[in-house]
Amino acid sequence: MRWFTTVPLVLIITCILTTWSPSSVKAEQSPPLFTVEVADIEKSGDLVKNLEAKGIKAVIFPKNIRIENAQTNRVIWLGKNVPLEMARVVISEALIFNPYICYVHLVGDRGEVPPEKVHNTIHVGGSEEAALAKKLNPIPAKEIQQALDKAKTIEELHRFIHDKNIKKQ
């Protein structure tokens, strides 16, 4: 008779332990995997609010010596791990908020080895000076948007960015 009362108790404890575990609590408390950093220029606060309204974590990157204005901070640095749908939304919105954007760089495409977290980030408003130092080619906003709309995979978007940035002889 005693066996019948302990079996349900063991089943209840097992159910509780399998549905609630420290790992499930840990996942809820961990930071989002992907982030958007927006340079602190003109309409950056509006862009951040717009992205957050779409469910994308975005922060304003603190001012520094390379952050001046929309005309000089017109680069998007795209981390290689960022999913296509996030890249589509963020880059499309960035093109609306800063019509001067004309450089997109796939981080690591020129052999640089940044910290791993950079591969999970889109940075909007990078310095044109840095783009020129990397010898990136300007890409018209219309072409960037067409590539975003056309790409079926993130690899296709990466290939577009890479091909547009091949060093000119």
pLDDT in tens, 40-70: 998 899 999 999 999 999 999 888 778 888 8
Could you tell me if residue 13 is inside a domain? no
Per-residue pLDDT band at 167 (split at 50, 70, 90): confident
| pTM, to two decimals | 0.78
- Residue 129 CB neighbour total at 10 angstroms: 13
Residue range(s) defining the domain that contains residue 107: 32-164
Asked whether residue 8 is assigned to any structural domain, the reply reads: no
Least Cα distance to 141 among 105, 104, 95 occurs for 95
Amino acid 18 reads T
pLDDT at 5: 55
Give the max Cα distance, the chain.
87
Number of domains composing the chain: 1
**Residues 78/122, Cβ–Cβ less than 8 Å:** yes
